Amino acid sequence: MPANTPRDSPSVLWEETQLQTAPCEEFRSVLFKSPWVAAVALDYVLFLEYGKTPRLSRRNGLSPMKWEKIVPADRLLPFEANLVSFTWTQFQTNALIHVADNCQNLRDFLLKNHDDGKLVWLAHILNHPNYGVAVKINGPMDFVNFSNAAYDAFPATVGFKITMDNSTVLAYEVALRAQVRDVSATEYMSQYLSCTK
């Protein structure tokens, strides 16, 4: 066979070593999700100790109470966000900044309580089997699961409520436990003293 004979077709020694052309979908990464921006409804219910943050207080000289409940005066504008592009920390920070957009005192209060771990994040997706009712988001994995569910449920309504434990109820529970503890100690002492006589 002469050295310069043209080949009519390329020869393949091993078929299994050749690159198979596949549809584009097979090359698509499992981690890739096309971006979408959803209007995330944000709301908050906060409790502030009377006298510590007077600029946020709405009581204006009314009879003093230990704690005051703070809620938005008007419905907040939706937070436009691509949830799957955020980490949990990024989402929290951006949501807090959005909520307190025009009020530096509220922003400082929210960020301080966030740093102290006093905020509770509740999330829901309208008519969703797992997130149809408010579910507490405890950390990054909960947020990833929620954001993926929200992505899959798009264009369903998505919302977050930022809240705190009701400090009045907590103070009542602490006082009640202390009272029970005192009564139990008194009963124990009276029983002990009656046994020693």
Phi, then psi, of 33 in degrees rounded to 5: -135, 130
Q: Coil, strand, or helix at residue 134?
A: coil
Are both 102 and 174 inside the same structural domain? Answer: no
Question: pLDDT at position 102, please?
Answer: 82
Residue 82 lies in a domain: yes
Residue 18 lies in a domain: no
Question: pLDDT at position 136, please?
Answer: 93
List per-block mean pLDDT (blocks of 10 residues) for the chain, which spans 197 residues. Answer: 55 65 48 76 86 54 65 89 91 93 88 91 92 91 93 89 74 63 59 58
Q: Is the dihedral of CA 111, 115, 118, 119 positive or negative?
A: positive
Residue 63 lies in a domain: yes
Helices (H), the chain: 24-27, 88-99, 104-115, 140-153, 167-196
Q: How many domains does the chain have?
A: 2
Summarised one tens digit per residue, pLDDT across range 60-94 is 554 455 777 888 888 889 999 888 889 999 999 99
Residue 24 lies in a domain: no
Are both 96 and 170 inside the same structural domain? Answer: no
Are both 138 and 178 inside the same structural domain? Answer: no
Question: pLDDT at position 28, please?
Answer: 46
Question: pLDDT at position 19, please?
Answer: 59
Q: Say how many residues make up the chain.
A: 197
Among candidate residues 18, 21, 22, the one with its CA nearest the CA of residue 10: 18
Are both 81 and 152 inside the same structural domain? Answer: yes
Q: Which residues are paired to 79 by β-bridges?
A: 40
Task: Please provide the distance, in angstroms rounded to a whole number, between the alpha carbons at the two ends of the chain.
Answer: 122
Residue 112 lies in a domain: yes
Other Cβ atoms closer than 10 A to 121 = 22
Residue 175: give the domain boundaries: 166-197
Are both 43 and 123 inside the same structural domain? Answer: yes
What CA–CA distance (Å, rounded) separates 48 from 69?
7
What CA–CA distance (Å, rounded) separates 135 from 146?
9
| 51 token code pair | 């006298």
